[in-house]
Structure 1
Amino acid sequence: MRQVKQHWLAHLLLCAVFTCSAAHAGNQKEEALADSVRLALSRAITDSQPPKPHFDNINQRIQYLLWLGEMSQRLKKRLPDWQVRKEFLETLWYEAKRAGLEPAMVLGLVQVESAFRKYAVSGAGARGYMQVMPFWTRVIGDGDSGKLFNMQTNLRYGCSILRMYIDMEGGNLYLALGRYNGSRGRPEYPNAVLAAWKGWETK
């Protein structure tokens, strides 16, 4: 009886761990890329510059600091540790801007994809904040999929891939989001990200 009880408790614990770590978003699909696209993506993710923003004037810096403070307050419940939250927001802002994306949109995507869980893993194996599929590290990286749990690496891959999809779709964000999620043409995922995006816009 004791062994049965222990087995049952272990099963419940395993289920709880899986539920906490699993992500429920869809996944990018591996598809043929032109050599020029693959090369551009590879260059984008291997740029070793640290995520330090540069501003043309003091007003831009003030706007950034105001954004950082406001987003930090909104994100406090999801990422309670100040240092982790600060580094996450600084990196997300840098990688979003670097890829020509709105930081608020990327925050909405991260919310939908992983609920801001660094070590989230989907049923298909997509990893991290932006739920990047491991095959991308083979296609455009060094093949080390473990790096997708690194904050900056994950955000850089995710932003670069989404930028590529937007370009592939001629600027159509709705279709690009569907492609990012592996559900192109279906409304559920793009609508979820667009709704979450509104929640991260500054007032």
Structure 2
Amino acid sequence: MALRLSLTLLMALLCMHSSASLRQAPDPELRSLLQRTVAEADSFQDRFDAQVWLLDMSTRLTRFIPDAEERLTLLRQVHQEASKARLRPDLVLALIHTESHFDRFAISSAGAQGMMQIMPFWKAELGRPHDNLTDNATNLRYGCTILSFYLRKENGNLSRALARYNGSLGRNTYSAKVIGFWHDYWYVKP
């Protein structure tokens, strides 16, 4: 009964987020996809929270990743890896927005790779030379772990941790950009 109520609410939210001029029922394929994604979202405490967060973030992410299945898979991975690293998933999305605009094949001029722009030397440091940093799950695991480490090292100072992540400690331009995207676009009130 609770699951049916949650799915009904999810469908109502889908209808609210659709264009006012279109006013049509949610796509059955999207409904099915959301149901499967929510069922696989094991990092959430509650299915309702999973449905609401996934729908909200999927709507925001549409401009970067048009394919619904790809968006929901990425969001589930972000939530899972961020939760494991004790990070806010919406902060991780802001960092990805800043680093790569959600391009999993992004490579910086310094050689950093993937959505979270991980430097390849980390693979050798970990004795994992065959890891693929353009694989989202691998990239997220590396990136979330690194950011979490820097947050602990900086005693929770987000600006300094982000600067360390970017290799720009002592400057605040990068940190301000990530925090700006977080507050203006990705932030979800706890």
* TM-score, normalization by structure 1: 0.70
Distance, in Å, in 1 between the alignment partners of 2:62 and 2:146 is 28
Q: Which amino acid aligns with 1:201?
A: Y
In structure 1, give the amino acid aligned to 2:143. G
How far did 1:167 drift? 1.2
Is the alpha carbon distance of 1:129 and 1:54 closer, same or farther for their aligned partners in structure 2, counting shifts above 3 Å? closer
Match of 1:106 in 2: 92
Amino acid at match of 2:179: L
Partner of 2:123: 137
Offset from partner CA, 1:74-104 (integer Å, 9 cap, x none): 1111100111111100000110011000011
Residue in structure 2 matched with residue 63 of structure 1 by the alignment? 49
Asked whether the equivalents of residues 44 and 50 of structure 2 are also in contact (C-alpha less than 8 Å), the reply is no
Instruction: Quote the residue 1:197 is aligned against.
Output: 182
Find the partner of 1:188 among 148, 152, 173: 173
Aligned to 2:138: 153
CA contact (8 A) 1:96 1:103 kept: yes
Q: Aligned AA for 1:131?
A: Q
| Matched position secondary structure for 1:110 | helix
Tell me, yes or no, if the aligned pair for 2:116 and 2:140 is still in contact at 8 Å.
yes
CA RMSD of aligned residues (A): 1.5
Asked if the contact 2:43/2:80 (under 8 Å) is kept, the reply is: no
Cα 1:202–1:167 change in 2 (3 A) is closer
Aligned length: 149
Q: Which residue of 2 aligns with 1:90?
A: 76
- Per-residue deviation at 1:202? 3.0
Q: Which of 137, 157, 179 is the aligned partner of 2:164?
A: 179
2:65 corresponds to = 79
Q: Name the CA distance, whole Å, in 1 between partners of 2:136 and 2:130.
A: 14
Identity of aligned residues (%): 44
Please name the residue that 2:3 is paired with: none
Aligned to 2:42: 53
Counterparts of 2:77 and 2:148, CA distance in 1: 16
Moved over 3 A (4+): none
Structure 2 residue aligned with 1:35: none
Maintained 8 Å contact 2:43/2:79:
no
TM alignment of 1:156-167, pairs within 5 A: 156-167=141-152
CA displacement, residues 88-147 of structure 1 (integer Å, 9 cap, x when unaligned): 0000011001100001100000000001101000001000000000001111241125x1
Gaps (5+ residues) in structure 1? 1-50
